[in-house]
Amino acid sequence: MAALLRVSRNVLLMRNNCVVLSRSMASKTPVGFIGLGNMGSPMAKNLLKNGYPIIATDVFPEPCKELQDIGAQVVDSPAEVAEKADRIITMLPSSPNVIEVYTGPNGILKKVKKGTLLIDSSTIDPAVSKEMAVAAEKMGAVFMDAPVSGGVGAASMAKLTFMVGGVEEEYNAAQELLTCMGANVVYCGQVGTGQAAKICNNMLLAIGMIGTAETMNLGIRLGLDPKLLTKILNMSSGRCWSSDSYNPVPGVMEGVPSANNYQGGFGSTLMAKDLGLAQNTATNTKTPIPLGSLAHQVFRVMCSRGYANKDFSSVFQFLREEEGQ
């Protein structure tokens, strides 16, 4: 009898282990990734590191080759990704790119399977996210917006913050993938609310960076050492992320774009785009954003003066040049 009980227990344990193994294997089914730019590429690599097979595509061959070399499968179009994966993440530069990738002739929705989870981490107009959600629903798929904060460094270290909008019942499924790429995953509400949170964050970021750059420039003109001024700001009420983690003054901090001629990081053209989104949504909701509007103007001028591809912290350099005119 005792022997029979031991056999029964062993069989039960084997069955339970099989169930756990089956669930584990199911969770590691292929994930599609579309958009392998400065942010998308490290995000896709982190999914690979966590054991997820990746099926990827991008308009540029170089990042595709780089990802292929470490184990990803590369295909020619978003539609092909949709044929091979039932969980797809997109990371694209702008609203028109998202519309093309989802609804274009070779778009995701041409081949999407019913039940597919579509997660868009681009920063776009919330209205476009809602349009894509409706289009996806018609095809039996689920669309969620999940824009990110943290920049290229956080993307590389899997420390991004994801702001997620969509059907709450699908949040856990999205969270499983997003936690492989980020340290914080926050559910914001229905589709479009993730984008709303991201736009608000980036408007504040732009205003804060301009304020930090102006402050540092004024202090330097008054004879203060920039490192000393930074130290004082960061132990005082003026402290902010732009002063203590992403200082815009060359020589003050290592490992940030200002230490590398403002290369890498978050481009001024992308900041101008995000501020344009903030301006449009503020206009549509009749919300006054005087400082946000001024920040938008500043970054638009910067883009026309040769700063488009430099990190947005180059506003410090822009102000220095302006004073010399």
Parse the chain into domains and list their residue ranges: 31-190, 197-320
- E strands present in the chain: 31-34, 54-57, 73-74, 87-90, 117-120, 142-145, 148-149, 160-165, 182-189
Residues 6+ apart with CB under 8 A from 275: 202, 203, 206, 292, 295, 296, 299
* Amino acid 152: pLDDT: 85
Q: Let me know: does 160 contact 148? Beta carbons within 8 Å.
A: yes
Give the largest CA-CA distance in the chain: 95
What secondary structure letter does DSSP report for 267? B
Dihedral Cα 85, 90, 95, 101, nearest 10 deg: -30
What pLDDT score does 307 carry? 98
The CATH number given to 197-320 is 1.10.1040.10
158 is written with which tokens?
Answer: 């899997």
Q: What is the pLDDT of residue 151?
A: 83
Residues 6+ apart with CB under 8 A from 106: 77, 78, 79
Q: Angle at Cα 204 formed by Cα 221 and Cα 214, nearest 5°?
A: 5
Each as own residue / partner, the long-range contacts of residues 64-68 (CB below 8 Å, 24 or more positions apart, any chain) are: 64/36, 66/36, 66/41, 67/36, 67/41
| DSSP per position, 242-253 | HHHTS--STTT-
198 is catalytic: yes
Structure confidence at residue 161 (pLDDT): 97
Q: Specify whether domain 31-190 bears CATH 3.40.50.300.
A: no
Low-confidence ranges of the chain (pLDDT < 70): 1-27, 324-325
172-193 tens-digit pLDDT: 999 999 999 999 999 999 999 9
pLDDT at residue 324, rounded to an integer: 66
β pairing state of 117-120 and 87-90: parallel
Query: Among 45, 65, 198, 273, which one carries the catalytic annotation?
Result: 198
Q: Using the Cα atoms of residue 24, residue 27, residue 30 and residue 36 in order, give the sign of their dihedral.
A: negative
